[in-house]
Amino acid sequence: MASHASGKSWLPKGSISPYQVYALMVHSVIGVGVLLFPRSMAKEMGTDGILVIPLVGIIAGIMLFVISKLGSLFPGMSLAAIIEEVLGIRRYPWLGKILGVVFLAIFLVNWLGGMVVVTRTFGQVLVTAVFQRTPIVVVMLMLVAAAAYVSYSRVQVLARFNEFLLPLIYAPGLLLIAALIQAGEVEHLLPLFQADWKQVVKGASTALFSYTGFEVALVFMGAYQEPKKAFRSYLTAIFVITLFGYWFTYLVCMAVFGKEELIRLAWPVLELVKAVHIPGMIFERLESAVVSIWVIAVFTTLTNTMFAIVQTLQEFLGLADRRRKWLTLAVGGTIYGLALWPTNIYEMGKWGELMGYWWFFSILLVPPLLYVIARIRRKRGEEDEASV
């Protein structure tokens, strides 16, 4: 099934440092959702969203803990190789291959569907806020083509690319602080503890969908320099994403706009930046700068996920390196073609909700199940060796 020769050339062992693991996680999670997250969260939870977001960060950390434990059992192996190792049966090799197809299909559908939503939302935001005279099909084509070109790089190049762009993700934090100081009102953050348990569960589910993307670690962990320290990098990334990427952003949006107004805003973070006033009018139209940084965040998310899709397919199908270029083009073309399917933003929203539930199903089912099967089979093997 897996082509080890091709896997070594594009995903060499020991080529991603712990800091690059952190950068890959941050870039893979923060993307489209950061612009839409405050509105959907306000609709579900209101002011209590401030209390629920840290809880969701803990849940995401638990999921990554399972992924790190799975990676520690199979150091130097990525998703396709792990599935082959866990489900493979010497007596019935065809059974392991069939089960492998099912498990990989769950992740591939998740990644492809998620990138379709990311691409369409990206195009919708840009043609609405910046390029109002540019057809959305052109904007999406440029994004997918550029992402396909970069994702064709080897993993060490991709890791350095994420590492280089990471400081730009922190820049909007200064504008959020300025908005909170200039226009925030404490009254908008009260009262708290108004939601019941059903609302908490629904709000947590909504927030958890914004963490989609960290499961690409199942592919990249085959190239970690220090697999045993991976969870430390994961935990740091989730802490930064939760505290600064989502919790603080939501707190500022709620403090500035209040629940009722926040629900009515299509792109609340962009509207939030417009509320920032810099003395002397040194900078104008700060939302354009935020959109530029957001474009980088979306681009890296798409690039990392496209690499994960192509790498997984190449390993599982045993394709030679010379076929990877065509495989990358096929994946990019599929994403672009499906992104043209929704006829409007409301239909795209339904796609996003559906893919959110599919992601929730795949990340809760597959990694824990693989880990449990691997532990059971490894334990039996140890017992058999001891008995001999």
Count other C-beta atoms under 10 Å from residue 279's C-beta: 5
Which of 75-84, 177-186, 297-306 is the most confident on average? 297-306
Mean pLDDT check: name the lowest of 50-64, 132-146, 193-207: 193-207
3-class state of residue 353 by DSSP: helix
| pLDDT score of 384 | 41
Angle at which helix 155-170 crosses helix 136-151, to 10 degrees, equals 130
Q: Using CA atoms, how far apart are residues 348 and 92, in angstroms rounded to an integer?
A: 43
Cβ-in-10-Å burial (0-12, 13-18, 19+) of 181 comes to exposed
pLDDT digits (tens, 9 = 90+) for 85-143: 888 777 776 777 788 888 899 999 999 988 998 899 888 888 887 788 889 999 999 99
Q: Using CA atoms, how far apart are residues 259 and 47, in angstroms rounded to an integer?
A: 7
Q: Mean pLDDT throughout 155-166?
A: 94
Q: Using CA atoms, how far apart are residues 214 and 362, in angstroms rounded to an integer?
A: 12
pLDDT bin (cut points 50, 70, 90) of residue 284 is low
Q: Mean pLDDT throughout 148-174?
A: 92
Task: Give the HSE-up count for residue 253: Cα atoms under 13 Å, Cβ half-sphere.
Answer: 34
| pLDDT score of 202 | 81
Peptide bond into 172 cis (omega under 30): no
pLDDT reading at 382 higher than 50: no
Q: Using CA atoms, how far apart are residues 67 and 214, in angstroms rounded to an integer?
A: 10
3-class state of residue 16 by DSSP: strand
- Which ranges in 30-135 belong to alpha helices (H)? 33-45, 49-73, 79-87, 93-129
| In contact, 315 and 92? CB cutoff 8 Å | no
Peptide bond into 135 cis (omega under 30): no
pLDDT bin (cut points 50, 70, 90) of residue 334 is very high
pLDDT bin (cut points 50, 70, 90) of residue 201 is confident
pLDDT bin (cut points 50, 70, 90) of residue 327 is very high
Q: Mean pLDDT throughout 243-257?
A: 92
Which of 78-92, 308-322, 339-353 is the most confident on average? 308-322
Q: Mean pLDDT throughout 180-185?
A: 86
| pLDDT score of 167 | 92
pLDDT reading at 268 higher than 70: yes
pLDDT reading at 387 higher than 70: no
Nearest CA to 10 out of 301, 233, 309, 215 is that of 309
| pLDDT score of 386 | 44
Q: What contacts 337, CB < 8 A, 6 or more positions away? A: none
Take residue 385 and report the two structure tokens written for it: 């060796």
Nearest CA to 234 out of 15, 86, 60 is that of 60
Amino acid symbol at 186 = V
| pLDDT score of 207 | 82
Q: Mean pLDDT throughout 140-151?
A: 94
Comparison of pLDDT for 198 and 64, the residue scoring more? 64
Q: Mean pLDDT throughout 236-247?
A: 93
Q: Using CA atoms, how far apart are residues 31 and 22, in angstroms rounded to an integer?
A: 15
Average pLDDT of the chain to the nearest whole number: 85
- Per 3-state DSSP, what percentage of the chain is helix, strand, and coil (rounded to 5)? 80, 0, 15
| pLDDT score of 223 | 93
Correct CATH for 4-381 of 3.30.2390.10, 1.20.1740.10, 1.10.1040.10, 2.30.42.10: 1.20.1740.10
Cβ-in-10-Å burial (0-12, 13-18, 19+) of 77 comes to buried
Mean pLDDT check: name the lowest of 149-153, 190-194, 285-289: 285-289
Amino acid symbol at 385 = E
Q: Mean pLDDT throughout 18-44?
A: 89
Domain layout of the chain by residue ranges:
4-381
Count other C-beta atoms under 10 Å from residue 304's C-beta: 27
Q: Kindly report the CA angle at 112 between 297 and 336, in degrees rounded to 5?
A: 75
134, 234, 318, 328 from 337: Cα distances, Å: 18, 33, 26, 14
| pLDDT score of 302 | 94
Mean pLDDT check: name the lowest of 30-39, 63-72, 91-100, 321-330: 91-100
Per cent of the chain over pLDDT 90 is 40
Task: Give the HSE-up count for residue 283: Cα atoms under 13 Å, Cβ half-sphere.
Answer: 13
Comparison of pLDDT for 278 and 237, the residue scoring more? 237
| pLDDT score of 283 | 60
